Amino acid sequence: MNAPSDLTCQELVELVTDYLEQTLAPAERARFEEHLAGCPGCQIYLGQMRQTLKLLGTLSEDSIEPAARDQLLRTFQHWKRDAEAE
Amino acid sequence: MRDNRSSDAQDTQPGQQSAAHALRPLTAAQGPAATVPSPDGEPSAAGDDAALADTRLLAALRAGDEAAFLQLVDRYHASLLRLALMHVSNRQVAEEVVQETWLAVLLGLKQFEGRSALKTWIVRILLNKAKTRAQREGRSVPFSSLPALDVEADEPSVEPERFHSPDHPQWPSHWAAPPHTWESVPEQRLLARETRRRLREAIAALPAQQQEVILLRDIEGWTAAEVCNTLALSETNQRVLLHRARSKVRRALERYFDEE
């Protein structure tokens, strides 16, 4: 039995970002997908990368603390007063 | 030369505004941009809308509209804080840097010509302030003395020993120790505080440029074009930095999920 395509696993992991960013040329993309279709290890790798991105997205869920917001509002009011006095 | 990151209230060069589109919230409720790939640098209707939204918001800010300012603060403050925390030692200092940034934004409003997107401009101010502060703290070397990004440097995404050797008779350079699926990791564990702590730790361990890129792309949900503009990177270098950063963060998560 031969490898699923002429692309190796070690090469595929270096192309994962280009693949997800959709910057692979059509022929390269086809090679990538051909390998992927026959390689459970690389399917899992790509799945982990997608999961990683999903988890990174959850880190943006904080919001501003009310005290900091109030302070900024005062900063703005000062700025406005100074700007009007000019 | 990184001349367009060298001073606070500096605007971008003409011709960059088409790429620096989308004044969408940095707190990307829609998830990381990578899951919704968008073509790089293509001027779009969304870009025009964002430019228009920027213009309106700027006019309101200059007219002293409190609601407009608070809208801006609510949209970007948390993102700015995360960016600042990559450069300075603690949360209090980061908060100060962000407060200074907002003041600089207000003071610079009059000079801001709108040639870059508002958020690009704000983030540049933040990064300059955070880096200055970090230098004062003796926490980092001046940016200009850092080695330039070496895209040729060999930095494999996965440890080479996890693959068969290139001269393996049947499986050259194919997985010898393939990754294990995370499908069986319970949702609770995936989303646990500890997982988030490990993610933050993995990001903190990255070189500065990789940190900036992965934070803006995958946490804040910026497009590639926006990141290239803000950090003065070519598309290729942006992608190399993103690839290295993501690969290392995945490895850190793999180590963590494989522990048990």
State the Cα–Cα distance between residues B239 and B188, nearest whole angstrom.
Answer: 31
Asked whether the beta carbons of residue B103 and residue A75 sit closer than 8 angstroms, the reply is yes
Model confidence at B135, in pLDDT bands (50, 70, 90)? confident
pTM for the predicted model, two decimal places: 0.77
Residue-level pLDDT at B170:
92
Contacts of B143 (CB under 8 A, 6+ apart): B2, B5, B131, B208
Residue type at position A22:
Q
Q: Which of B31, B37, B66 sits opposite A22 (nearest CB)?
A: B37
A45 part of contact set with chain B, CB < 8 Å: yes
| Whole-number pLDDT of residue B148 | 53
pLDDT digits (tens, 9 = 90+) for A42-53: 999 999 999 999
**For the segment A39-78, what is each residue's pLDDT rounded down to a tens digit?**
999 999 999 999 999 999 988 877 788 888 888 999 999 9
A47 contacts on B by Cβ (under 8 Å): 181-183
* Cα–Cα distance measured from residue B168 to residue B179, given in angstroms and rounded to the nearest whole number: 20
What number is the average pLDDT over the span B152-157? 77
Q: Which contiguous run of DSSP H or E holds residue A75?
A: helix A66-85
Most confident of A14-23, A54-63, B70-79: A14-23
ipTM of the complex: 0.86
B126 Cβ contact list (under 8 Å, min separation 6): B80, B83, B84, B97, B98, B101
